Amino acid sequence: MDKNFDGLIAENNRRGEQIVSLQDELTRARETIEVVAAQRNRALEAVEKLREALDGVKEALNDTELNMGNYDDDDVRHLNDGAIEAWTIADKALAATEPATVEPCTWTEEGYCLEGSGNWFASCGEAWTLFEGTPKENHYRHCPGCGKPIKQVPFAYKDEEGEEPSP
């Protein structure tokens, strides 16, 4: 019987080490996500500053076209057309950096038994049980099943005519 007990203790210690290792990996992953998010935010700020600068250049070019009466019209048109073409190319490049919109994973709260049952069905096909609160209240931002942002739809009781009762 001591051998079984010793084996259980060894197995328990091994699992404890695995848990610590997984916790360390999770911490490193969170730190990486924070770094990437900060880099993304800095990049988006830079893109916005560049966009503002390009808008200023475009406005200046339009003002220049009106105020260059001393120059030959063809020279002004050529300069202005080239600058506007450069602005258009840069603007298209900036538009390509816009983050793609991701369709959220919709979590719908089950309510056929009773409101607040804690059962949530995700549009990705997964089902989750939360013992207290909503996904948002439990700090779920992304679906563990598919990784998409969560859109939660809480249960809303409806009467026999399909209407929500008034309070």
Per-chain mean pLDDT for the chain: 77
Residue 150 burial class via C-beta count within 10 angstroms: exposed 0-12, middle 13-18, buried 19 and up: buried
Query: Residue 105 has what pLDDT?
Result: 93
Helix, strand, coil percentages (3-state) for the chain, rounded to 5, are 55, 10, 35
Tally of CB atoms within 10 A around 160: 5
- In this predicted model, what pLDDT tens digit does every residue of 57-92 receive, in sequence order? 777 666 655 555 555 566 556 666 667 777 677 766
**Angle at CA 166, nearest 5°, toward 161 and 167?**
145
pTM: 0.39
User: What's the rounded mean pLDDT across residues 53-58?
Assistant: 73
Query: Residue 100 has what pLDDT?
Result: 61
| φ, ψ dihedrals at 166, nearest 5° | -80, 150
Residue bearing tokens 């942002």: 149
User: What's the rounded mean pLDDT across residues 140-167?
Assistant: 77
